[in-house]
């Protein structure tokens, strides 16, 4: 019986989330989509910054940690701008 619960719970969760994603995808406007993407990015950055810097602070001085975080954010910003410029140079 326990094995049935172990197998049914992930399958049911997967099916439920796939149906919810399909429904939201049909009902979502482009404006709502950009807000949801912003929320997802903020949630991922929050999870990363709440977990990683306290561990890194035990290994690095504070100014080195801050500079490496800033360099990483700037690097990803530049990669995104380069990707947009490569695909359509008039939208940057």
Q: What does pLDDT average to in each consecutive run of 10 residues of the chain (92 residues)?
A: 92 94 79 80 87 86 90 89 70 54
pLDDT at 15: 96
How many Å apart are CA 12 and CA 5, to the nearest integer? 10
- Domain extents in the chain: 1-50, 60-92
pTM: 0.48
Q: CB-side exposure of 88: number of CA atoms within 13 Å?
A: 3
pLDDT (0 to 100) of residue 87: 63
User: What local confidence, expressed as pLDDT, does residue 57 receive?
Assistant: 87
pLDDT at position 40, please?
A: 87
pLDDT at 19: 93
**Other Cβ atoms within 10 Å of 56 Cβ, number:** 14
């Amino acid at each position: 019986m326990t094995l049935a619960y172990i197998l049914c719970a992930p399958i049911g969760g997967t099916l439920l989330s796939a149906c919810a994603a399909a429904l939201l995808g049909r009902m979502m406007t482009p404006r709502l989509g950009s807000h949801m993407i912003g929320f997802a990015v903020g949630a991922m950055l929050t999870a990363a910054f709440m977990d990683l810097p306290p561990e890194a602070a035990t290994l690095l001085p504070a100014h080195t940690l801050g500079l490496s975080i800033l360099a990483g954010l700037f690097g990803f910003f530049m990669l995104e701008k380069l990707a947009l410029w490569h695909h359509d140079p008039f939208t940057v």
